[in-house]
Amino acid sequence: MLDLTFEPPKPKVIQGAQSDWELVIGLEVHAQVASKSKLFSGASTEFGAEPNSNVAFVDAAMPGMLPVINEFCVAQAVRTGLGLKAAINLVSAFDRKNYFYPDLPQGYQISQLFHPIVGEGEVLVDMGPGVARLVRIERIHLEQDAGKSIHDMDPHYTFVDLNRTGVALMEIVSRPDIRGPEEAAAYVGKLRQILRYLGTCDGNMQNGNLRADVNVSVCLPGAYEKYQETQDFSHLGTRCEIKNMNSMRFIQQAIEYEARRQIGIVEGGGTVEQETRLYDPDKGETRSMRSKEEAHDYRYFPCPDLLPLEIEQAWVDDIAASLPELPDEKKARFVADYGMTEYDAGVLTADVVSAHFFEEVAAASDGKLAANWVINELFGRLKKDDREITDSPMSPAQLGGIISLIQKGDISGKIAKDLFEIVYTEGGDPSLIVEQRGMKQVTDTGAIEAAVDEVIAANPEQVEKAKANPKLAGWFVGQVMKATGGKANPKAVNELVAAKLGL
């Protein structure tokens, strides 16, 4: 963790017609387990396969087919729990959640209501320098995903694709600790970052591999503090759940709309009904989907096809020993080891691939200088070209080579930018390119002095102005650099100009 004192951000306040209102938000994030096969079958989890091609008999609920637990998916859930500093339950159990829908062939979903595999944990969500929200994790449980109903392929029929049926999900349930739309989006972003570092979920929201159900309620100022003191939910307003959010931007928009909707109802003398709602991004509004079901509505009971899941502490310890360095720890190390700012460290550690790329560059050069080139030059160019770091035409070794040439004094900063462009577009070894194209910096003081003398002799009026105003000496430096094609050592030029002008 960063050795800093964090202050919690202030809650979002919305001004109503009668009073101010505060938001209270909790999230249930469904993260698809990064596994090649499903939770209870050997069927593939490949995305984009032909409809109904990744379906085992047990997924399709064929008679007599029994589920068999995928040990790797269990390990991934444990790994996630450890990464979120959560308690790991050595004994957990699966339950049947009963409901009927065309894309749920069994007529029930195998989940974990009563005895989840992971208990309480936490996520630190950065909101700015020295400002962070600590969000408590209530639980993480394993469950199987449902299939997909397709309504737009025929005007009269709904089609069902069972490829997702049985895919392993981790449902990560937070406490109602989030107090604003921006915090909610930042929490999902931080959770996705941690999962990617752990390798337990790819976090692809477009493919539905990470999606969130957002619980929103409003309360009067001071009510949340009473809830925190007593853990009595009656101090908070009635919550509504917005289902299947797969966009950070839409999460924020949906929360804003839903909070104002609830405020309007309460201030109008009405009562907010606990229900499940959907967000329509085209209209920018939430709409009712169904009344909110309670656990008894699903008639949960222990799954008779699966024994309680018992794992050994030694197995958990082995997984813990294999955990990678996580984002907060990596960020703190970058600040301490490379002397960079917290902001730059945050940019470089935002994605595990970017962090690895930077460290490979820094291994062969100065860390602070490497951070500057990776963030400003490489990331800037990739963004301009709409490319990801995984698709970078420049390798860490090539960028490190350019920075090493700067450090050795072989090229100036200006030449380095020209060299960067050549390597980025054409490839090649930076040191060979410098030699072959005559880009090496001129360090011979005799040659530089001759260029300085020539510029001074040709501009007597400018000399007098510079002696009266030393700041104008920069003009001579620019002229010398221009005369030498940008190859002269800038430090040597500055020193010689100052000496020749008597400044």
Note the helical H segments in 295-444.
313-321, 327-338, 342-349, 352-363, 367-372, 380-384, 396-407, 413-426, 430-436
Asked if pLDDT for residue 123 goes beyond 90, the answer is: yes
pTM: 0.87
Q: How confident is the model at residue 300 (pLDDT cuts 50, 70, 90)?
A: very high
Helix (H, G, I), strand (E, B) or coil at 383: helix
Q: Tell me if 235 sits within 8 A of 227, measured CB to CB.
A: yes
* Three-class DSSP labels, 132-173: EEEEEEEEEEEEECCCEEECCCCCCCCEEECCCCCCEEEEEE
Contact between residue 96 and residue 109 where contact means Cβ atoms under 8 Å apart: yes
Averaged pLDDT for residues 261-267 = 97
pLDDT at 442: 63
Does the pLDDT at position 466 exceed 70?
Answer: yes
Integer Cα distance of 134 and 13 in angstroms: 19
CB 147 within 8 A of CB 105: yes
> Residue 301: what are its φ and ψ, rounded to 5°?
-155, 155
pLDDT at 122 over 80: yes
Digit-coded pLDDT (tens) for 4-48: 567 889 999 999 999 999 999 999 999 999 999 999 999 999 999
Q: Which DSSP string do the residues of 204-235 spell out, in sequence order?
A: -TTTTSEEEEEEEEEE-TTHHHHHHHH--GGG
- At 244, the pLDDT band (50, 70, 90 cuts) reads very high
Q: 67: which DSSP letter?
A: -
Residue-level pLDDT at 453: 81
Is 295 a residue whose pLDDT tops 70?
Answer: no
Here the tokens at position 6 are: 């964090």
The pLDDT, as a whole number, for residue 366 is 86
pLDDT digit string (tens) for 188-233? 999 999 999 999 999 999 999 999 999 999 999 999 999 999 989 9
Q: First CA to last CA across the chain, in angstroms?
A: 49
Determine the distance from the C-alpha atom of residue 13 to the mean position of all C-alpha atoms in its chain, rounded to a whole number. Answer: 26
CB 493 within 8 A of CB 485: no
pLDDT band of residue 417 (cuts 50, 70, 90) is: very high
Burial class (CB in 10 A: 0-12, 13-18, 19+), 319: middle
Per-residue pLDDT of 155-178, as tens digits, reads: 999 999 999 999 999 999 999 999
CA angle, 337 as apex, 331 and 343 as ends, to 5°?
40
- Whether 212 and 178 have beta carbons less than 8 Å apart is answered as no
Tens of pLDDT along 86-114? 999 999 999 999 999 899 999 999 999 99
